[in-house]
Amino acid sequence: MHKKKALPVLFAVMFLVMVGFGIIIPVMPFYAEEIGATPTQLGLLMAIYSFMQLLFAPMWGRVSDKIGRKPVIMIGIFGLALSFFLLAISSTLWMLFAARVIGGFFSSANMPTVMAYVADITSDEDRGKGMGIIGASIGLGFIFGPAIGGIFSQNNLSVPFYLAGSLSIITFFFVLFVLKESLTAEQRNNQLRQKTPLRKALQGPVAILFVLQWFVSLSLAGLEATFAYFAYEKAQLESVELGYIFMIMGLAGALVQGGLVGRLTKKFGEGSVIQLGIIISAIGFA
């Protein structure tokens, strides 16, 4: 596959993955509550997924360096599909937790491997643009996913999980037949020899960025875990309305990532844009 053709394929892959992920966001709180989960247990259901990603994303990155990007992306998507189907048939709380553990473990293979694929096929000058395209696909996935999940949850709360699982299976076969490997085994070995050790990479400004990103992710994860209960208590919003709210959030994020960030960064610099983003985010939460 020509390198220029690979980016649209990766865009489609991440879009489909995030649509599948987004489908369950407005439904999960009501589904877990129906099974008997308390708000605290729902928070733990959200947390265990992210915790598994934290633990295993670096591992999948190393595996993709050794065996190639395509097989790792496929493993991640297939595992994600499995977790969605397990969620759909869950009838007890431990089944929900098992599905979330499996989903977190396998889904952690997707993002770092896709980003590594982009790095493989882009030059230093085009890398930012390539990463931006993937970021836009994630934003678009978050626009359509929650809306679809909300709409299809009206009669049966398990339907969105079957839908998300089916979409993941379609994405798996799309990757299998359309995506080509980014590097040869020899090129991967050369990259491994030239890699900077993680301890050296996490020094100076990069370490500060990791801490910043951790706080941003923490605030967003807290929102996802509790917003359904908050919205229901304040305005009796159900999964359908919640899906539309998350869709609006995704649309705002896609517009900012796709258009505003690049222009503002060129004009004011990265540091100022990061500070502005944090201030606006704080206002939004308040």
Give a three-class secondary structure readout of 139-163.
HHHHHHHHHHHHHHCCCCCCHHHHH
Which of 135, 181, 184, 190 lies closest to 15, judged by CA? Answer: 135
What pLDDT, on a 0 to 100 scale, did the predictor assign at position 200?
66
What pLDDT, on a 0 to 100 scale, did the predictor assign at position 106?
93
- Find the CATH number of the domain harbouring 256: 1.20.1250.20
DSSP label at 257?
I
pLDDT (tens digit, 0 to 9) for every residue of the chain, 286 residues total? 555 678 888 888 888 888 888 888 888 888 988 898 888 888 888 888 888 988 998 899 889 888 989 999 999 999 999 999 999 999 999 999 999 999 999 989 998 899 888 888 887 777 777 777 787 788 788 788 888 888 888 888 999 999 999 999 999 999 999 988 887 767 666 666 566 566 666 667 778 888 888 888 777 777 766 787 788 788 888 888 888 888 888 788 777 776 777 778 878 888 888 889 889 988 988 8
Q: Determine contact, residues 70/89, Cβ cutoff 8 Å.
A: no
Predicted TM-score (pTM) of this structure = 0.81
* Total domains in the fold of the chain: 1
Find the helix or strand (DSSP H, E) in which 88 lies.
Answer: helix 69-88
Q: What radius of gyration, in Å, describes the C-alpha atoms of the chain?
A: 19
For residue 224, the number of C-alpha atoms closer than 13 Å in the C-beta half-sphere is 23
Q: Which domain holds residue 112?
A: 3-285
